[in-house]
């Protein structure tokens, strides 16, 4: 079953560059959907269109429809705050909020009106365990979030996203700045998390894509070239351009 | 082989050295002059009289307490007005205003920052003070509050300009992180952007308020210049006199070398120490050794 439907979605930026051209795809629930392709292909743009972070970029025109769980995201009546709670996002560069480790996780809940200390404490422990970070930070939850290492910061950002109990988690090259061990930890936690959440991942390498993908989509210069289940995209690509990319001939 | 430096290089190096050292020498000269002229006040006037509450130099009453408190009340009043207004304006320009408005407002604020203070005092006498008198039904519109309002006008552009710069340097990704956890725009500004720009905003406040402590012209024109101890609940609405205004108005007619003359220099030293404290605090904040985490982040 698809939780996100993208129908004939196009988007262009104000500097004249075309972000996305007529994209149609579904994103299946409780799977890891991998969006791969060279830089500038439109992966980030599509992700940011799903939780409407593009609102603040220089977008001049948008056409088509994106629905998340039946909700039209571009409907003017859509409550952005609710949409973003439903669709969490983790960025390429870890961005801890300028708060303590604990507050980084509780911030989203607190602005949503949750004040019960026991609930907050439970969420902090549970999400940090889910993000495979608990064992490293449980004794210093009041330290500033920025005091963690890069890999820990990124797992903190994942935990922060989980705290809101979203339906979908968008990860935009979450491991691009990380060492192999941190990367492996994050990939492990994604495998575990997909049972409860839908995961959309822009991987930072083809290897990572083929390791993690349940469903894969290949983007090139704002166009969706092809989608395929599981590992098919990597082993039996239908399009010549996809084949060239996954075999490392460009990109 | 002996190292050859071209003559022109040596001349340039020397002249830059002279320029650099001379600015240090000038500051030291000013300081030593201040101390030489101000220190005798301690021997001529007993400390008990200096800290008395009556400033009436013609009859040898040299209590500088009303002047110090006058400066403080006006400056604190100005800070209370200027900090929320200035930081608020900076937030508006940096986070809320659309691009075209931002491009008009920012240069406008910077022009305001260079506005001659005597003109502001002029506006104060002509507009602010009469309207305050009518509005609050005071016997005179030349009060501490008038001075505080106008000093706030001097501090605000500095605060706005510097804190806006600080908020502008907060990476966009911080704001996106705030929005991505479902915070509204205002919650993101308050919980993420402002804390991230903290040191810059603090610096802006200190520089802005620091500017208003040393300001002379405006306060001399609008505070009424009455050296009264401002301790009653309504002192904000009565005339006061600041340290700067005292020096500016009395220095011209004092006999060189007299006690009065020395006490005026003593006030100058006190003013200098206050400014020094403010500046040291400011640079301590800016030059603060960055923490490990902050270095990694930047």
Q: Which CATH number do you get for residue B216?
A: 1.10.3720.10
* B179 domain-assigned: yes
Residue B66 to residue A173: CA distance in whole angstroms = 64
Instruction: Residue B188: give the domain boundaries.
Output: 39-297
Of B172, B175, B182, the CB nearest to A164: B182
- What is chain A's length? 251
Question: Do the chains contact at A53 and B184, CB–CB below 8 Å?
Answer: no
Residue A84 to residue A164: CA distance in whole angstroms = 9
Query: Residue B92 — left, alpha, or beta (φ > 0 → left; ψ -120 to 50 → alpha)?
Result: alpha
- Kindly report, residue by residue over B50-104, the tens digit of the pLDDT: 888 788 888 888 888 888 888 888 888 999 999 999 999 999 999 888 889 999 9
Q: Decide if A69 contacts A167 (C-beta within 8 A).
A: yes
pLDDT at residue number A178:
80
* B20 domain-assigned: no
- Kindly report, residue by residue over A191-235, the tens digit of the pLDDT: 888 989 999 999 888 888 888 889 999 998 888 988 888 788 888
* B114 domain-assigned: yes
pLDDT at residue number A33:
93
Complex ipTM tops 0.85? no
Q: Does B184 touch chain A (CB under 8 A)?
A: yes
Name the more confident of A129 and B217. A129
- Please list the residues that pair with A168 across neighbouring strands: A87, A198
pLDDT at residue number A200:
93
Q: Which residue of A has its CA nearest to B291?
A: A147
Compute the average pLDDT of residues A160-188. Answer: 88
Task: Tell me the nearest-neighbour CA distance from A234 into chain B, angstroms.
Answer: 31
* B31 domain-assigned: no
- Burial (CB count <10 Å: 0-12, 13-18, 19+), residue B278: middle
Listed as ranges, residues in chain B with pLDDT below 50 are: 292-293, 295-298
* B10 domain-assigned: no
Compute the average pLDDT of residues A110-135. Answer: 88
pLDDT at residue number A43:
87
* B14 domain-assigned: no
Helical (H) or strand (E) element with B213: helix B198-214
pLDDT at residue number B2:
56
pLDDT at residue number B1:
52
How many inter-chain contacts (A to B, CB under 8 Å) are there? 75
* B263 domain-assigned: yes
Structure-block tokens of residue B229:
């101890």
Number of compact structural domains in chain B: 1
């Amino acid at each position: 079953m698809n939780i996100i439907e993208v129908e004939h979605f196009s988007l262009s930026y104000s500097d004249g560059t075309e972000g996305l051209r007529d994209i149609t795809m579904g994103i299946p629930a409780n799977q890891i959907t991998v969006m791969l392709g060279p830089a500038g292909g439109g992966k980030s743009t599509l992700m940011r269109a799903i939780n409407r972070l593009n609102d603040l970029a220089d977008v001049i025109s948008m056409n088509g429809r994106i629905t998340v769980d039946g909700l039209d995201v571009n409907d003017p009546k859509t409550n952005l705050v609710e949409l973003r709670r439903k669709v969490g996002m983790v960025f390429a560069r870890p961005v801890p909020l300028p708060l303590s480790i604990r507050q980084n996780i509780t911030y989203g809940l607190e602005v949503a009106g949750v004040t019960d200390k026991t609930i907050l404490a439970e969420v902090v422990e549970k999400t940090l365990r889910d993000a495979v970070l608990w064992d490293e930070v449980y004794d210093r939850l009041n330290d500033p979030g920025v005091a963690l290492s890069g890999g820990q910061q990124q797992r903190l950002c994942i935990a922060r996203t989980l705290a809101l109990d979203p339906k979908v988690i968008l990860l935009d090259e979450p491991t691009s700045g990380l060492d192999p061990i941190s990367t492996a930890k994050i990939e492990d936690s994604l495998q575990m998390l997909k049972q409860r959440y839908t995961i959309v991942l822009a991987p930072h390498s083809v290897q990572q894509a083929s390791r993690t993908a349940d469903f894969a989509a290949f983007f090139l210069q704002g166009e969706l070239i092809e989608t395929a289940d599981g590992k098919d995209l990597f082993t039996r690509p239908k399009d010549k351009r996809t084949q060239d990319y996954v075999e490392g001939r460009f990109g | 082989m002996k190292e050859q430096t071209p003559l022109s290089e040596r001349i340039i190096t020397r002249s830059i050295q002279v320029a650099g050292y001379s600015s240090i020498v000038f500051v030291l000269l000013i300081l030593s002059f201040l101390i030489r002229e101000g220190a005798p006040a301690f021997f001529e006037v007993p400390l008990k009289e200096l800290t008395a509450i009556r400033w009436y130099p013609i009859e040898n009453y040299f209590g500088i307490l009303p002047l110090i408190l006058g400066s403080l009340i006006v400056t604190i009043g100005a800070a209370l007005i200027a900090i929320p207004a200035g930081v608020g304006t900076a937030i508006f320009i940096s986070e809320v205003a659309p691009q075209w408005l931002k491009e008009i407002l920012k240069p406008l604020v910077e022009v305001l920052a260079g506005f001659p203070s005597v003109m502001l005092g002029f506006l104060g006498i002509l507009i602010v003070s009469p309207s305050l008198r009518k509005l609050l039904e005071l016997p005179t519109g030349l009060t501490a509050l008038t001075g505080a309002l106008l000093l706030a006008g001097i501090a605000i552009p500095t605060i706005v300009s510097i804190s806006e710069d600080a908020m502008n340097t907060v990476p966009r990704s911080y704001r996106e992180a705030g929005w991505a956890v479902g915070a509204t725009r205002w919650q993101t500004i308050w919980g993420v952007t402002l804390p991230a720009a903290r040191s810059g905003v603090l610096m802006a406040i200190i520089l802005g308020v620091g500017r208003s402590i040393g300001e002379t012209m405006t306060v001399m024109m609008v505070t009424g210049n009455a050296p009264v101890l401002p301790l009653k609940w309504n002192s904000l609405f009565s005339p006061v006199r600041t340290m700067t205004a005292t020096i500016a108005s009395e220095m011209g007619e004092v006999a060189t070398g007299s006690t009065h003359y020395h006490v005026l220099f003593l006030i100058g030293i006190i003013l200098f120490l206050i400014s020094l404290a403010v500046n040291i605090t400011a640079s301590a904040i800016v030059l603060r050794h960055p923490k490990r985490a902050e270095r990694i982040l930047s």
